[in-house]
Amino acid sequence: MASSPEITRFAPSPTGPLHLGHAYAAMVAHDLARASGGRFLIRIEDIDRSRCRPEWEARIFEDLAWLGLSWDPPVWRQSERLASYEAALDRLWDQGLLYPCTCNRRDILAALDAPQEGVPMGPDGPVYPGTCRHKPRPKIRPTDRALRLDMAKALPASPLHFHEEGLSSLQGKHPITPKDLIENTGDIVLSRRDMGTSYHLSVVIDDAAQGITLVTRGADLFAATKIHVLLQHLLGLPTPRYHHHRLIRDEMGKRLAKRDDARALEIYRTEGLAPDAIRQHLTTGETLG
C-alpha cells in the first residue's frame, strides 16, 4: 500500500553560512517528501532580527539549489507572521497559562544555588526554578518582558504522546508524562522580550499553518518535541509525526554549528566540489576532496 504524500519543511535561520549539517537536514526533508510524491517547503526562521541578514538568506537558496534540491512555493518568513504568534500568546494568557519573567541566565543559576554542571538541564538549558511564577500577574499581557508557560497549570488531564519514525533507537510511540514536563522541562519561555515570540511557539504555529505532516530535524531537538506536542494540545493544533535524524559531526565527534565556516557549503561550491560528492559523503561517510 502506497504511503500518503508527505509535507515536510526545512527551516534555516539566516544568521550564517549553511554547513554540512544543514545540507543533510535539508536532504532528509526533501527526499522524504519527494519519495512520497509530496511537498517540500522552505521556512526562513528570522525572528532574531538582530542576527539575521538578507545576504545569508540569499546564500541559503543558492546552496540548496546547488545541492539539487527543489522546493514548493511559497517561502514563508517568520518575521512576516508575528500576528499569528501574538494571537497564540493572547490565547494562552487569557487561559492563565503564562506569566511574565525578568530573570536572566545568571539569576536562574543563582536561584538554583549550584554551578551549571550540577543544575538540571532541559531543552533550553537550566530548568527554571519558578522565581517569577508567584509574583502578581498583570491583567494585560505585557510585551516588555519574557513570558513563561506555567507548566503545572498547562498539564493536560489525559496523557500525550507522539510518534517517532527516524532513528531506529527512537522509533515508536513516546508518552509524555507530567513528571517529565515539570522536572526535566520546566516553565519554558514562549515569548522573548526582544522577539515577541520564541522558537518553541513559532515552530508549532507554523507547522500547523503549513500543514506539515512529517517534522524532520536533528536528534538534538528530540527533547524539545514534548514541548511542541503540549503546545499543540493547548492551542488545539494537530500533532504531526516526527523523524529525528543523526547529527553530522566533525572529526572530534562535535556537532557542527554555524561557526564551523570551514565546512560551509559555499566553500565546497567555490572549490568546484560536485553536489553528488556532498550527498555521498553525508550518506556513506566517504571522504570529501
pLDDT of residue 111: 84
Continuous H helices in the chain: 20-35, 54-66, 82-94, 105-112, 151-154, 178-180, 199-209, 225-235, 265-270, 275-284
For the chain, give the percent of residues with pLDDT over 70: 91
Say if residue 288's pLDDT is above 80. Answer: no
pLDDT of residue 9: 98
Say if residue 129's pLDDT is above 80. Answer: yes
Question: Binning pLDDT at 50, 70 and 90, where does residue 66 land?
Answer: very high
pLDDT of residue 261: 63
Say if residue 41's pLDDT is above 60. Answer: yes
When pLDDT is averaged across residues 50-61 and rounded to a whole number, the result is 95
Mean of per-residue pLDDT scores for the chain: 91
**pLDDT tens, 91-120?**
999 999 999 999 988 888 888 876 555 678
For the chain, give the percent of residues with pLDDT over 90: 78
For residue 212, give Cα distances in angstroms to 30, 53, 99, 206. 13, 26, 30, 9
Residues 6+ apart with CB under 8 A from 244: 164, 166, 167, 170, 216, 217, 218, 219, 221, 222, 225
For residue 48, give Cα distances in angstroms to 3, 23, 158, 196, 286. 37, 22, 35, 10, 36
What is the identity of the amino acid at 23?
A
CA 123 – CA 92 distance, rounded (Å): 21
Question: Binning pLDDT at 50, 70 and 90, where does residue 157 land?
Answer: confident
pLDDT of residue 289: 56
Confirm if 68 and 30 have CB atoms less than 8 A apart.
no
Question: Binning pLDDT at 50, 70 and 90, where does residue 1 land?
Answer: very low
CA 58 – CA 77 distance, rounded (Å): 13
Domains defined for the chain, CATH in brackets: 1-80+259-289 (3.40.50.620), 82-238 (3.40.50.620)
The burial of 62, by beta-carbon neighbours within 10 Å (0-12 exposed, 13-18 middle, 19 or more buried), is given as middle
pLDDT of residue 116: 55
pLDDT of residue 91: 98
Residues pairing with 242 in the sheet = 164, 215
Say if residue 260's pLDDT is above 50. Answer: yes
CA 103 – CA 131 distance, rounded (Å): 8
**pLDDT tens, 212-254?**
999 999 999 999 999 999 999 999 999 999 999 999 876 655 5
